[in-house]
A and B are shown apart, each in its own frame.
Chain A
Amino acid sequence: MNAAAAPLLEVTGLVKRYGGVVAIDHVDLQLWAGTITGVIGPNGAGKSTLIGMIGGAVTPSAGHIRLGGRDISRLPASERARAGIGRTYQIPRPFLDMTVAENLEVAQYSMAPLIGAGPARSARIELLQLTGLLDVAGVPARALPLLKRKRLEVARALALKPRVLLLDEVGAGLIDSEITELITLIQAVADASVAIIIVEHVLRVVRACCARSMVLNFGKKLIEGPTAEILAHDEVASVYLGTGGARQSAPAAPKDEAAPPPRDPGSLSQLIAPRSSAASRPPLLELQGICAGYGQARVLKGIDLQVHEGEAIAILGANGAGKTTLARTITGAINPTAGTLRIAGNDAAGRPAHDIAGLGIAHCMEGRRIFPTLSVRDNLLVAARRVDRATAQQRLAAVYELFPILAERAAQGGTSLSGGQQQMLAIGRALMARPRLVIFDEVSLGLAPIIMDRLYEALATLKAAGMTLVIIEQDVDRALALADKVYVLEHGIFGLAGDPRDIADDPRLRHIYIGTAD
């Protein structure tokens, strides 16, 4: 790296706001040709937003992006691509009905419409060879498995002959051997004339490829420097594995201490369905051999799970392991392709989502999914189904008691709230159904530690009051502190399961999350 020369790409004071949420907060970044820079950080830290803003898919709220001295902040994505910025998508977006070769042709012919067929073909073959796709050149992209789709993303971006290459989570969802292949590929495409940014959850990729890295947290640059130093940093480990600072070998405290006493059991009972009284009752939720996915992509490959009344289950796993797909399968948003799904003994596979909600399963969705056109109060009331006005009011009061800020903002639009308040609204909304079981999907995503404390305090209160919980989390420490039983998803199956104390000590957990230190 030649620090004296002007940087190839220079990002200054970049900001992105979505309503009340700041996704990227005054980030600066400089890239020189011939370097590979890693951008790491937990889910929701703003990594993909940063890539989107550099690539042109997302318009910055403030700040500048300069490529070779030229301000490109306001150019549309197509012009940025033509100026020399190539990007991959975290979830590959190939042109599904085109062959692999044709996917590359799109980039080639848009950049150089009059290029000779011969040179274009040999350039294509070279790229396909480099990315290991030559044998599938004539295959429609739809037929490719995930690894090859990710390779196609890289190949397609390279076909632009970019000066800056943005690789967004190319490692997510791949198994170890595939990641090794991927690292080889990235090292092969590195070139003295290209600057590469790798946004990555799989730290092994960053460790192997990037001389320098920066850590994003809550949209801000936390730290920047040589990758080895960054990864050794205590603060970085805590950002990834949890918010408890230095990591302890066991959950922080005995569970009855962790949970604050329920303030008023009477009011909370408005939000928690009474337990069934039958002596030998079936599990509240039971999955056997559940498989599910999107189109041809199989995400879940045989999930067995039992949740009994009053239990708190944590489901952990890295990005792309299938956590949210599991939640969506349970709540009927997608139908399982195989296996049985029972809710309190009733066969629920294939039932529509609103039916499953009627059976007492509530889902506090990832990304909050607050209705922007509804007030805070109406957002809550939507979930109170088939109850009279008085009951709805009682539940509303109980939610307001749990999260008093919602009462203050009752008449405001749902998305005018800050991220943390929106998450409280999402939790409160799930409770308005007075459910028998709530699935909390990534409630801590992108939130400040103090807000996370507040949310987890609320979850602990609910648990103490007898609520059945399924917690899907990337923040390992918090989930382990609350759960009675932990399952770790890896590539669509439970790779690890057991008591939270044992799991916390299991080296495989760290391996699944941040990769081995090979």
Chain B
Amino acid sequence: MRLHRLSGDMGILAGAFVLLWFAPSFASDYALQISFRVMIYLTLAESWNLLTGSVGLVSLGTASFVGLGSYVAFGLANHFGAPIPVILVVCALAGAVLAALVSPALFRLRGVYFTVGTLALAALLQLLMVNLPTFGGASGIFLKHDPPPLASLYHDALSVALVASLAMAICARTRISVIIRAVRDDEDAAAQMGVRPYRVKLAAFALASALIAMAGAVQAINLGAIEPYGAFGLQWTIDALSMVIIGGIGWRLGPLAGVLFVVMLGEMLANYPEAHIAITGVILIVLIRFAPGGIVGMFARLFTRSTRLSSP
């Protein structure tokens, strides 16, 4: 039964991937840019949903790993001329390693301290990049070679989003999901069942960080130039969490719904960046208070009774 659901997910993802792969042949440049952004955001949102919705770790550190991916990607491209698949693999590793390195600090205390620690980590990395001349300082670095054409980068972003969605499908549809939910619901009771909560949280944090770093890499190469205030900017963190809260935290389709909403809102308010962020903030406050399930949660409540029955 559970594997059926997993293969169902896989089928849908494969179908969507194939369809979207051919988008560049008929979509306009503008539509392709938007689709590219959707793929990047979807990766960020899926990762944040895994951490916060599934494992219960509220992260304000998305920007750390976007920035990490950006800088590692530029280093590899400029110094070693590495091809994009290699860059993505190395960035994923770098994200996981950074997550593992900071986890002793961040997991020492439960609850909100993880949140605050991730926020501090992003600020620390940003300031380090500003001050270290090796990494271009405040003015940042340029890509030495011309970036690949948008269509090719779009395929990279689509692949990263596919990997993220597959990883989330596996986390949600296999036996891993019961372990993750057990840790979120009652860490102590889970430990009494033999689950090692620290390892589960670390694995989720490392996986989410690897995915975010890959998205950061593709995003940075598309830009052609990076600087610390953008690459490590709080904006990435705000985007990731607002997309998931708006879409529906903990819901499988929440990230996708949130990404589409936020990208649409962003396009409408493209000329008023301050208003865009402020309106996002207002939406967040209203949703947290009145609709903690976000868009998907509201629809689910309207149209179905949630029946999550499974066979023994």
Point out the residues of chain B lying under 8 angstroms from A106, CB to CB: 178-179, 182, 190, 193, 195
Task: Say whether A128 faces chain B, with CB atoms less than 8 Å apart.
Answer: yes
Check if B188 sits within 8 Å of A138, measured CB to CB: no
Are B191 and A138 neighbours in the complex by a CB distance under 8 Å? no
Contact A156 B193 (CB under 8 A): yes
* Contacting residues of chain B (149-194) with chain A, CB-CB under 8 angstroms: 175, 178-179, 181-182, 185-186, 188-194
CA distance A106 to B2 in the complex (A): 15
Q: Decide yes or no whether A237 CB sits under 8 A from chain B.
A: no
A249 — which chain B residues lie within 8 A by C-beta?
none
State which of A77, A113, A128 has its C-beta within 8 Å of the C-beta of B175.
A113
Q: Interface readout for A364-379 with B: 1 if CB under 8 Å, 0 if not? A: 0000000000000000
Which of A86, A99, A110 has most chain B Cβ within 10 Å? A110
B310 interfacial contact with A, CB 8 Å: yes
Name the B residues within 8 Å of A99 (CB-CB). 308-310
Nearest-CB distance from B94 to chain A (Å)? Answer: 27
Given contacts A98-B178, A134-B312, contact A107 B194 (CB under 8 A): yes
B104 CB, min distance to chain A CBs, angstroms: 16
> A93 contacts which of B175, B178, B179, B189 (Cβ < 8 Å)?
B189
A138, B312: Cβ atoms under 8 Å? Answer: yes
* Shortest Cβ-Cβ A-B pairs, 5 listed: A137-B312, A81-B194, A101-B312, A77-B191, A78-B191
Give the size of the chain B interface in residues (CB under 8 angstroms): 24
Residues of B within 8 A of A101 (CB): 310-312
Whether a CB of chain B sits under 8 angstroms from the CB of A294 is no
| Complex interface bits, B129-142 against A, C-beta within 8 A gives 1, otherwise 0 | 00000000000000
Q: Note all chain B residues with C-beta closer than 8 A to A78.
A: 190-192, 194-197
Restricting to A109-136, which residues have a CB under 8 Å from any CB of B?
Answer: 109-111, 113, 117, 121, 124-125, 128, 134
A residues near B181, Cβ cutoff 8 Å: 95, 97-98, 102
Which B residue sits closest to A153, measured CB to CB?
B189
- Write out the residue numbers on chain A whose beta carbons fall within 8 Å of the beta carbon of B309: 99, 138-139
B286-312 toward A: CB 8 Å interface, digit per residue (1/0)? Answer: 000000000000000000000011111
Contact partner, B194, options A121, A134, A160, Cβ 8 Å: A160
Known: A134-B312, A138-B311, A160-B193. 9 other contacts (CB 8 A): A78-B191, A78-B197, A79-B196, A100-B312, A106-B182, A110-B179, A117-B2, A124-B312, A125-B312
Is the C-beta of B3 less than 8 angstroms from some C-beta in chain A?
yes
Instruction: Determine whether A105 belongs to the interface, using a CB cutoff of 8 Å to chain B.
Output: yes
Interface centre among A105, A128, A159 (most CB of B within 10 A): A105
* B191: chain A residues within 8 A (beta carbon): 56, 76-78, 81
Is the C-beta of A57 less than 8 angstroms from some C-beta in chain B? Answer: yes
Least CB separation from B176: chain A residue? A109
A121 touches B312 (CB 8 A): yes
A55 within 8 A of B: yes
**Bound CA–CA A56/B197 (angstroms):** 14
**A62 → chain B, closest Cβ, in Å?**
23
**Which residues of chain A from 52 to 83 have a CB within 8 Å of any chain B CB?**
55-57, 76-79, 81-82
Question: For the complex, would chain B's binding face be called helix, strand, loop or mixed by DSSP majority?
Answer: helix
A107 and B193 contact, Cβ closer than 8 Å, known pairs A97-B181, A99-B308: yes
Cα distance, A139 to B307, chains bound together (Å): 9
15 CB contacts below 8 A, A to B, read: A57-B192, A77-B192, A81-B194, A95-B185, A95-B190, A100-B312, A102-B181, A105-B175, A106-B179, A109-B175, A110-B182, A110-B195, A117-B3, A128-B312, A160-B193
**Interface residues on chain A, number (Cβ under 8 Å):** 42
**Residues of A contacting B308 in the complex (Cβ-Cβ under 8 angstroms):** 97, 99, 140
Is A403 located at the chain interface by the 8 A CB criterion?
no
* Residues in B whose Cβ lies below 8 Å from that of A121: 311-312
Q: Which of B253-312 contact A (CB under 8 A)?
A: 308-312
Hey, which chain B residues are within 8 Å of A97, CB to CB?
Answer: 181, 185, 308
A96 near B: Cβ within 8 Å?
Answer: yes
CB 8 Å contact bits of B210-252 with A (1 = contact, 0 = none): 0000000000000000000000000000000000000000000
With a cutoff of 8 Å between Cβ atoms, the chain A residues found around residue B182 in the complex are 95, 98, 106, 110
Residues on the A chain within 8 Å of B311, using CB: 101, 121, 137-138
In-complex Cβ contact of B185 among A57, A96, A138, A139 (8 A): A96
A73 to chain B, nearest CB (A): 16
Nearest-CB distance from A172 to chain B (Å)?
18
* B189 → A minimal CB distance (Å): 4
How far, in angstroms, from A101 to B175 measured CA to CA in the complex?
A: 12
Q: Would you call A89 an interface residue if the criterion is a C-beta within 8 Å of the partner chain's C-beta atoms?
A: yes
Closest to A124 in B: B312
Contacts of A207 in B (CB 8 A): none
- How close is B307's CB to chain A, nearest CB, in angstroms? 9
A363, CB-defined interface residue at 8 Å: no
Given known A106-B179, A110-B179, contact A81–B310 (CB-CB < 8 A): no
Could you tell me the distance between the alpha carbons of A1 and B195 in the complex, rounded to whole angstroms? Answer: 32
A87 within 8 A of B: yes
Please, how many angstroms separate the alpha-carbon atoms of A79 and B197 in the complex? Answer: 11
Report Cα–Cα, A138/B308, bound state, in Å.
8
**Min distance, Cβ A35 to any Cβ of chain B, angstroms:** 22
Q: Which residues of the other chain, B, contact A139 by a CB distance below 8 angstroms?
A: 309
Whole-angstrom distance between the Cβ of A329 and the nearest chain B Cβ: 26
How far is A100 from B310 in the complex, measured between Cα atoms in Å? 10
Closest residue to A138 on the B side, CB-wise? B309
Give the interface centre of B2, B185, B312 by most chain A CB atoms within 10 Å: B312
In the assembled complex, how far is the CB of residue B179 from the closest CB belonging to chain A, in whole angstroms?
6
CA distance A137 to B310 in the complex (A): 8
Among B3, B193, B309, which residue has the most Cβ atoms of chain A within 10 A? B193
Please state if A57 and B178 are interface contacts (CB–CB under 8 Å): no
A3 to chain B, nearest CB (A): 30
A77 in complex: contacting residue of B179, B185, B188, CB < 8 Å: B188
